[in-house]
Structure 1
Amino acid sequence: MIQEFIETRAYSEELCEPLKTEDYVIQPVEFVSPTKWHLAHTTWFFEVFVLTRFKKDYQLYNKDFPYLFNSYYEAKGDRVMRAHRGNLSRPTVDEIFSYRTYVTEALKELLKVSAVKELLSIVQIGIHHEKQHQELLLMDIKYCFGHNPLFPVYKADFNEHSSEDAKQNWATIKEGLYHIGHQGNGFCYDNETKAHQVFLQDFEISSRLVTNGEFIKFIEDGGYKNPLLWHAEAWDWIQGEKIEHPLYWQKTEDTWKEFKLNGLNTLDFKDTLSHISYYEAAAFAQWKGYRLPTEFEWEIAQDQFSWGKRWEWTESAYLPYPNYQKAPGALGEYNGKFMVNQKVLRGGSAFTSNNHTRKTYRNFFHPQMRWQQSGVRLAK
């Protein structure tokens, strides 16, 4: 665990190496957090949930930091509002890195002398919490760079590309009772439990994800202008926000381009579609004459296809499983409080850290969000 902790902490900082100091601070919209804040918040998690509780005579690095870098844990006290994170020009970037070093060293010392089960359990959650923020870090950097008129290159060799085989096969799953949820002793989040049974009807699911080329046809056929394809709330959203194509796409003259972390490039029609909302995914599926899979169908069929290229929208609302139990105390706010008005995504993406996702992992976002690397797998 010490080794995994060290590697995780180091990888967060490695992701920041291509950045300039100015890149660490910006927050163009409320749902995008500054890089500096991510680095500090993941450090705050270990300090507040682990060190202050398990390390004798531990001294906070700075008495103001618990207020500055708490995210949404009401039980842990007041915090800077999410929309105001970009106002924190101070503490400086250098001080945040000093804060990280201080907490990392203190926790390494603690782990060398203590192996209390509860301590190790919270550290493991903290490691995966930081892996989640590594993905968010890349999502947020891409949003910042993708809305900069200069379209800066984050890293020239960063590979988001994922082409799909032109041939589409359909895996057939027979109706019956199936086991859902995490089983075994490996790490999982509480929202993946309790394991339980669900009844599924016969269905088929696509062997591959939808491509950019397929989605272009939806656009050219007037998909964004046909109200019959959209949920009422979705139609209001695309009208109000003037949505006409996936996030990071643009058309100059007759050429489609797409911004990626390696810069602005000509759109690859064979590449896997990404950065679309649930609203767009559902409208496209209806236009094709299919539908999105439920999260249970996806989980049961996941050994029939290759996944992890994109987070995949499902038709399932983000709800607790039968006999779900939130963790006691502030850690109970990690997942349970968000089980309303959100849709489940399954899989992973080019932004997901190693050893983090699994077939029972449940990601979740509001249906209009699309700055995550979200794609579409069809079902029928």
Structure 2
Amino acid sequence: MSAFPAPTEDARQGAPALAERYRAVRARSIALAAPLSAEDAMVQSMPDASPAKWHLAHTTWFFERFVLGTRDGYAPVDPQWDYLFNSYYNSVGPMHARPRRGLVSRPSLIEVLEYREEVDARMARRFDAGDLDEDAERVILLGTHHEQQHQELLLTDIKHALWCNPLGPAYRNDLPQRPGRAAPLRWIARDEAVAEIGAAPWPQARGFAYDNESPRHRELVAAHALASRPVSNAEYAKFVDEGGYAEPTLWLSDAWALLRAEGWQRPLYWHEDGAREFTLGGWRERDPHAPACHLSLYEADAFARWAGARLPTEAEWEQAATGVAVDGNFADAGALHPQGANAGGSGLQQLFGDVWEWTSSAYTAYPGFRPLPGSLGEYNGKFMSGQNVLRGGSCATPADHVRASYRNFFPPTARWQFSGLRLAKDPE
């Protein structure tokens, strides 16, 4: 009997299409790691980040452990790596401490790449043999989306590591810059309404969705207005210049304590000269029209208060994004940095791509939430404490990995992700 609910025909993904997706996602990870040296790939610049080598190995371990390893008599590539490359699956077994991943010099980067090749070859044989049942196919699809999450983390983590290097080296020197011109911020009002929020439980629904996006349910969304675009660098710079980081009335209590303890005076990666910011292309002049990014929830909340507004709820955000084409400045565009949008247009801009948008909503379970069965139930549900939801994807997110119901989540202190904000306000 299947461990998953029965899917609809729309949700079924044929083995050839799934095999092609598997190959494409796995190749993309290798392409993202290609600009890195072995030394780059081992660096862990803070406990919240992981070395690129670990990302490459862990995503491979996922397929070996949860697909290949479920067959009786399976011989793992190296049994010791089950300990090294487990992340947080306590039901699977013990794991190496996350803050110490940068100490793992062995296996080497070459050995990790060979590990990927071997697991990919074993997966190819399973695809070619046609002996993957429906449960295995669903785990593989989940695994490809899991790997796309780690592709984004690989970029954000190496950006932090290179910023910590006194030389300020670029991840890539050929990243394009596409200046835009931010339109004047407008307010788009909505009346009170009952909105359908979330996704039907996967794999019953059309397309893929994580378990934390379900079940689809109704929420009463009060009358409100959303800003037409994310807050720009120029707007956030005004907040900085006018003493926003020195005004305690703008900050939550624990935010103010952290601000003073850490000495925050500007967003992460903004240079003290007031003009430059660190990017995956190295130090560059800051584009005033691009969305402000690398903001913690605390900074986003303080800016919103300074602006006489607030952060949107995730229901307000999803209501606005439902039915909108998932199109924007994603990783596929190749810039790997937020870009200013064209000034034209009358509706909401940049809902998808550029920056993850903080919401005021705590990351908690939807009514009737059910985690995936078995160890995969540890994927999302156990993190529903002390974190807030972000929406929309970023310039480092693969385009086919995002949808209106997607719920990203981070603690309020997190700054190293491409996170920004869109303002909301209540009727006057």
Please give the TM-score of this superposition, normalised by the length of structure 2. 0.86
CA RMSD of aligned residues (A): 1.3
Helix, strand or coil at the partner of 2:141: helix
Structure 1 distance, partners of 2:20, 2:372, is: 26
- Superimposed CA distance per residue, residues 170-206 of structure 1 (whole angstroms, 9 cap, x where no aligned partner): 2211102110001441100000000000001100001
Does residue 350 of structure 2 align to residue 329 of structure 1? no
Structure 1 residues 92-171: aligned runs within 5 Å: 92-112=108-128, 113-159=130-176, 163=180, 165-171=182-188
Does residue 286 of structure 2 align to residue 267 of structure 1? yes
**8 A contact 1:190–1:326 mirrored in 2:** yes
**8 A contact 1:247–1:371 mirrored in 2:** yes
Q: Match for 1:347 among 376, 380, 392? A: 392
User: Equivalent residue for 1:11?
Assistant: 28
Q: Match for 2:267 among 246, 257, 274? A: 246
Helix, strand or coil at the partner of 1:9: helix
**8 A contact 2:212–2:407 mirrored in 1:** yes
Please state how far the C-alpha of 1:160 moved relative to its aligned partner. 7.4
Does residue 241 of structure 2 align to residue 225 of structure 1? no
Does residue 195 of structure 2 align to residue 178 of structure 1? yes
User: Equivalent residue for 1:51?
Assistant: 68
Structure 2 distance, partners of 1:102, 1:58, is: 14
Does residue 364 of structure 2 align to residue 319 of structure 1? yes
User: Equivalent residue for 1:84?
Assistant: 100
Please state how far the C-alpha of 1:25 moved relative to its aligned partner. 0.5
**8 A contact 1:173–1:301 mirrored in 2:** no
Structure 2 distance, partners of 1:247, 1:164, is: 23
Q: How many residues align?
A: 377
Please state how far the C-alpha of 1:299 moved relative to its aligned partner. 0.3
- Superimposed CA distance per residue, residues 130-166 of structure 1 (whole angstroms, 9 cap, x where no aligned partner): 0000000000010001111111111123357674523
**8 A contact 1:164–1:272 mirrored in 2:** no
- CA separation of 1:162 and 1:357: change in aligned 2, threshold 3 A: farther
Helix, strand or coil at the partner of 1:289: coil
**8 A contact 2:276–2:286 mirrored in 1:** yes
Structure 2 distance, partners of 1:275, 1:160, is: 18
Q: Which amino acid aligns with 2:296?
A: S
Helix, strand or coil at the partner of 2:359: strand
Structure 2: segments with no counterpart, 5+ residues: 1-17, 325-346
